[in-house]
Amino acid sequence: MYMILTYDIKDASRLNKVHKICGKYLFWVQNSVFEGEIKESNIVKLSNEIKKVINKKEGDSVITWRFFSAEKFKRKIIGAERNEPTTEIW
């Protein structure tokens, strides 16, 4: 399965934790955006780890889009590509 994940985290320490969690499973492509192939079992792990860190009451949110394959959608960049797909953590 292919996933795109975005997040909006209000606190810097929680933001860094979420970023590191996402980097274990997906490629970092732009500030708060990750994408990549992921197994269903890893989606469960990713979700559980994120739920332990975020604070809904403070407005933290994570949005995911799942595709059955990378070939079923088209990705187009307008302007500069900020980050090549990487698992590197900032």
Domains and CATH numbers, the chain: 2-69 (3.30.70.240)
Would you state the structure tokens that stand for residue 81, as one six-digit string?
């590509």
Contacts (Cβ under 8 Å, ≥6 apart) of 66: 1, 2, 3, 43
pLDDT bin (cut points 50, 70, 90) of residue 90 is very low
pLDDT of residue 12: 94
pTM of the entire structure?
A: 0.82
Taking only the tens place, the pLDDT of each residue in 24-68 is 999 999 899 999 999 999 999 999 999 999 999 999 999 999 988
pLDDT of residue 23: 96
Backbone angles phi, psi at 29, to 5 degrees: -115, -25
